[in-house]
A and B are shown apart, each in its own frame.
Chain A
Amino acid sequence: MSAAPPIRGRGPWELAFERLRRDRAAIASAITILFALAIALAAPLLAQLTGHSPIEQFTETGLSPTGIPVGPGREFWLGTDGLGRDVLVRIAYGTRVSLLVGVLASGLAVLIGAIVGIAAGWHGGAVDTLLSRFMDVVLSLPFLILALALAALVGPGLGVSIFLIAFFSWASVGRIVRAEARAIREREYVQAARALGAGSARIMFVEMLPVVSATVIVYATLLIPSSIAFEATLSFLGLGVPPPTPTWGNMLTDAMAYYKVAWWLLVFPGAALLGITYAFNVLGDSVRDALDPRHDQTIGAGRGGAG
């Protein structure tokens, strides 16, 4: 005899997590991301295992007598680059840069976007007009040109890349959070908090922030892959993290010179870059569907009619 399990109320977060757990694409991409994280953490280990540091040039073993990169083999598992450096170890170290930039830049962008968006939505009036217009200006800047110009001016580097990516990404989050905050502002519970004498800061961060957090989480997940791609693009154009630090963008720039003789210089870093951005995008879509099941019902309604 087994007693029926007691009925238990489940919160929206728990329901979303349940949905996510049953989503095979989401699980697969989460595993991919964890794998990349493990590679990033184990990069020094990999360097020790192979005996190749990421910037050491093996001019004897890593280059053919005519100075051409060596293909994948026992000594260099994923081949070497034009300077005789180990591609595998460099990819592993590049993973660190990509994940770091992706997470920090999008985290910073989402933080600024959420604060500005809530402030604009809650205060309304002149504050809202000013902040909204500011976001419009940021969104209409030719961001790649300005990012490149600024990077060249202050000197490219990891911190500069993170800051630039965050600066050109926060406004799109801010606009969406603002729209949501404006809608929440009129809800009864916010009015109630106000009537109880809660201050602006309390209402914005204790009453309103948790409600917009679903949007914020979805955006954070979707901003990570675009930040990673942004960093790779800056590096590719020579204004990201400067060489000899290995980044996927730097490696793909080198690949441009050698792709006719060394396919591995293009294929492996390219696959790493694509794999991680694809995984984050799939996860982001899944998180959005899990947090906003209405999305799913729209699909269902369309399907029913199409018959």
Chain B
Amino acid sequence: MIGFLLRRIAWGTLVVWLVATLVFVVYFAVPRDVARLIAGRQASEETLVVVRARLGLDQPILVQYGRFIGRLVHGDLGESFITQESVVSIVARDIPVSASLALGGSALWLLLGVGAGVVAAIRPRSRTDRSITALALFFYSMPTFLVGQLLLYFLFFQLYRVGFEFFPPGSYVPFTDSPLQWARFLILPWFTIALVTGAAYARLTRGAMLDALGEDYIRTARSKGLPEWRVVLLHALRSSLTPVVTQFGIDLGTLMGGAIVTEVVFGLPGLGREVVQAILKQDLPVIIGVTILSSALVVAANLLVDVCQSLLDPRVRAN
């Protein structure tokens, strides 16, 4: 088990290092003038020299790379070109927003997705199953931003016009200020994420449940005279959850690094919106910091999934 764990951690570290190197190559090794980007077009040649010296851009590329990795290992992500704020403190400010969004959204999509998948699989090809399958495919087909826009249009704007002002159009209230307002402001973003992702989980759960319900041990359970709900929920669902858990770890990891589209549509000040703004302004340290953090989160989530699975199923470890 220890060996397995060490191997997985080494692999995860390698992936993060590769991403960091890729980002470095893309931004600093490509011949273009980063100093001019920061100093602006009108900057004089003297200013550029000063900027280059301050950022170490006058050093050979390998020295720059060594410094970059060195700072990274010490958890220093540099500071924003534009606001001079340290990237670590930007991330620390944004992460509660992205985490709130990810945790609430994922709880909701698990509930909706797995629930719908189980109900659909109990009576395959019935009208219920067909409706759920069609509805799941409907949301599965929609880009996230469109779901967000439609929820805003119908649940915020149309209800607002008739005088029902429950759903806010966007923005964020910290949990520590008011848990109730926090939830009210996040409810549409949560549903946006949950509908899109939950649709994929409904498809996944339905497929796995159908496979499980065809197994011999289900026939055994039925012939023992167990009530049907026990057969479905305790026997079939339990074994169907393995692929769901795998997918869940990866999706949650991705989402913690910022739900870019949802945050943009609803104006939530999380990591995702931060990185889009940084990209549009070419604020390299912020882009690099958030990119590395996101990939580290995905890798950590993958690692966690692997560990959970190896605890559940020892065969995984041998691989």
Contacts of B287 in A (CB 8 A): 145, 149
Task: Flag if B149 contacts A259 (CB, 8 Å).
Answer: yes
Contacts of A145 in B (CB 8 A): 257-258, 260, 275, 279, 287, 290-291, 294
User: Given A142-B294, A306-B122, are A298 and B211 neighbors across the interface (CB < 8 Å)?
Assistant: yes
Contacts of A229 in B (CB 8 A): 141-143
Does chain B have a CB within 8 A of A183? no
Which residue in A142, A225, A237, A302 is a CB contact (below 8 Å) of B213? A302
Q: Secondary structure of the B side of the interface?
A: helix
Name which residue of chain A comes closest to B12, CB basis: A140
Which residue in A136, A152, A260 is a CB contact (below 8 Å) of B279? A152
Task: Flag if A144 contacts B260 (CB, 8 Å).
Answer: yes
Contacts of B18 in A (CB 8 A): 137
Does chain A have a CB within 8 A of B219? yes
Which residue in B138, B149, B279, B298 is a CB contact (below 8 Å) of A140? B298
Task: Flag if A149 contacts B122 (CB, 8 Å).
Answer: no
From B60-68, B70-78, B81-89, B150-158, the one touching the partner chain is B150-158
From 276 to 318 in chain B, residues with beta carbon under 8 angstroms from any chain A beta carbon are: 276, 279-280, 282, 287, 290-291, 294-295, 298-299, 302
Task: Flag if B146 contacts A274 (CB, 8 Å).
Answer: yes
- B31 nearest CB across to chain A (Å): 13
Interface residues on B, range: 35 or more
Q: How far is the CA of A303 from the CA of B126 in the complex (A)?
A: 10
Task: Flag if B299 contacts A303 (CB, 8 Å).
Answer: no
Does chain A have a CB within 8 A of B124? yes
User: Given A150-B26, A259-B152, A305-B214, are A141 and B276 neighbors across the interface (CB < 8 Å)?
Assistant: no
Which residue in A149, A274, A278 is a CB contact (below 8 Å) of B291? A149
Does chain B have a CB within 8 A of A263? yes
Contacts of A263 in B (CB 8 A): 153
Task: Flag if B280 contacts A233 (CB, 8 Å).
Answer: no
Does chain B have a CB within 8 A of A57? no
Does chain B have a CB within 8 A of A162? no
Task: Flag if A298 contacts B141 (CB, 8 Å).
Answer: no
Does chain B have a CB within 8 A of A238? yes
Task: Flag if B280 contacts A238 (CB, 8 Å).
Answer: yes
Task: Flag if B211 contacts A149 (CB, 8 Å).
Answer: no
Does chain B have a CB within 8 A of A47? no
Does chain B have a CB within 8 A of A255? yes
Task: Flag if B219 contacts A305 (CB, 8 Å).
Answer: yes
- B139 nearest CB across to chain A (Å): 10
Contacts of B143 in A (CB 8 A): 229, 232-233, 236, 273, 277
Does chain A have a CB within 8 A of B80? no
- B57 nearest CB across to chain A (Å): 17
- B171 nearest CB across to chain A (Å): 15
Does chain A have a CB within 8 A of B145? yes
Q: How far is the CA of A265 from the CA of B196 in the complex (A)?
A: 22
Task: Flag if B260 contacts A237 (CB, 8 Å).
Answer: yes
Q: How far is the CA of A285 from the CA of B199 in the complex (A)?
A: 15
Contacts of A236 in B (CB 8 A): 143, 145, 261
Task: Flag if A225 contacts B141 (CB, 8 Å).
Answer: yes
Name which residue of chain A comes closest to B210, CB basis: A302
Interface residues as binary, B25-49 with A (CB distance below 8 Å gives 1, 0 otherwise): 0110010000000000000000000
Q: How far is the CA of A146 from the CA of B67 in the complex (A)?
A: 22
Contacts of B150 in A (CB 8 A): 266, 270
Q: What 18 new A-B contacts, CB under 8 Å, besides A298-B214, A305-B222?
A: A140-B298, A140-B299, A145-B291, A148-B260, A148-B279, A229-B141, A229-B143, A233-B144, A233-B145, A236-B143, A236-B261, A259-B157, A273-B143, A274-B142, A278-B141, A298-B211, A302-B213, A303-B124
7 contacts between A and B (CB under 8 A): A137-B15, A137-B18, A142-B294, A144-B261, A149-B287, A305-B219, A306-B124
Question: B residues touching A (Cβ–Cβ < 8 Å)?
Answer: 15, 18-19, 23, 26-27, 30, 121-125, 137-138, 140-146, 149-150, 152-153, 157, 210-211, 213-214, 218-219, 222, 254, 257-258, 260-261, 264-265, 275-276, 279-280, 282, 287, 290-291, 294-295, 298-299, 302
7 residue pairs, one from A and one from B, having the closest CB atoms: A142-B294, A301-B214, A277-B141, A229-B143, A302-B213, A278-B141, A302-B214
